[in-house]
Amino acid sequence: MRKLLLLGAIALAAGACSSDDVSAVGPDPQSCTKASIKVGDTKTGSIDSNSCAMYDWYWEEDSVNFESYNVTLQQGKGYLFTLGGDEPAERQLGLVSVVDILGELTSNYVAVQSSDDDSNPAQLFFVAPTTGTYSLRVFNDDVGESFDYSLSARECTPRAVDVVGAFSSDSETLSSDDCALAEPYFNYMNRGGDWSPVSSHIALYTIHFDGYSPRTITVKSDDFAPAFMVEGPGFDAWCNTYYCSGDQMRNDARADSVSRTMWVWTPGTYTLTVGSVDENETGTFSVDVSEPLNPDALPLRLPPDFSALQNGQHRKMTGPR
């Protein structure tokens, strides 16, 4: 159902609540926006045929129902929004800003994610690159489909923010108090014949890439098998919107040290997410990030093709911008 759309970064949202062009946050404060949500909150509700409708939402290329919550984010702070529920359903989340294009305001989805497994939650996580108020939207995957939901918000303190030069620390930790992802890309692997991820606590960093010079990232631990992913730029820590770059180090061998030279095609600040291969492991680890390497001294790397997309990613423009 999901296809390549040549719409750049903009997804127009035309719906039953049609005031996206006049509201800077929610699509309609009176009927579509349920409330505001902040760190520590858990909101409950239901998506059904009485919820607001959006026609041809780009993520599904189909009509969906949705509800919206206004959320105020602070630059440099890490956030995790989790959309769960007791019944099986494909749950979906979108974070929306409003941009002005040629004098017209329109919705811009700066982060989206859905649950790959109907029994798991949908989660958005990121280190906010800017301060502002956004619309956090809860979606079903088919208009008229119904499910009850719970939407929670928590803060995930970043270990380091916007690493521009070399960075090294040998005293990092993953603990049971850290935010956890239900379906991280970096530990999607074969577990007894079933290709699936498991939940992992995560440590967040943000790293600057200039768009052409790669950086080598190395993570070591004697307490757990480490893995990591680099996604972005900006809010898009899942690399699920347009103009997105990223890569992952899966550690299929469950080694105690993993290293990879990462390239991206779009300059900006990216999220480095460190976690464990096995479920919710904890302990100490070290992380090293090199200075940006001279691309002239390295082999030419062509843009990734569609066959190299990560689990859950959409086909999108992948060449240099």
Cα–Cα distance, 29 to 19 (Å, whole number): 9
pLDDT of residue 104: 66
- The band of 11, judged by pLDDT with boundaries at 50, 70 and 90, is very low
Q: Which of 39-53, 95-109, 299-313 has the lowest mean pLDDT?
A: 299-313
Q: Which of 86-100, 156-170, 260-274 has the lowest mean pLDDT?
A: 86-100
Whether 163 has a pLDDT exceeding 50, the answer reads yes
Note if the bond before 233 is cis, omega within 30 degrees.
Answer: yes
Q: Which of 229, 25, 167, 201 is nearest to 107 (CA)?
A: 25
Region 35-61: mean pLDDT is 88
- The band of 105, judged by pLDDT with boundaries at 50, 70 and 90, is low
Q: Which of 153, 154, 113, 147 is nearest to 45 (CA)?
A: 147
pLDDT of residue 300: 54
Cross-strand pairs, 188: none
Cα–Cα distance, 301 to 299 (Å, whole number): 6
pLDDT of residue 242: 78
Q: How far is CA 161 from the centre of its chain?
A: 17
DSSP H stretches of helix in 111-254: none
Cα–Cα distance, 45 to 238 (Å, whole number): 25
Beta strands in 85-224 (DSSP E): 92-101, 104-114, 122-127, 132-139, 147-155, 160-163, 167-174, 180-181, 189-191, 194-196, 200-201, 203-209, 215-220
Region 81-107: mean pLDDT is 81
Which token pair is 173?
Answer: 């930790």
Percent of the chain with pLDDT over 70: 80
Q: Are strands 268-276 and 226-232 parallel, antiparallel or unpaired?
A: antiparallel
Query: What domains does the chain contain, in order, with CATH numbers?
Result: 14-155 (2.60.120.380), 160-295 (2.60.120.380)
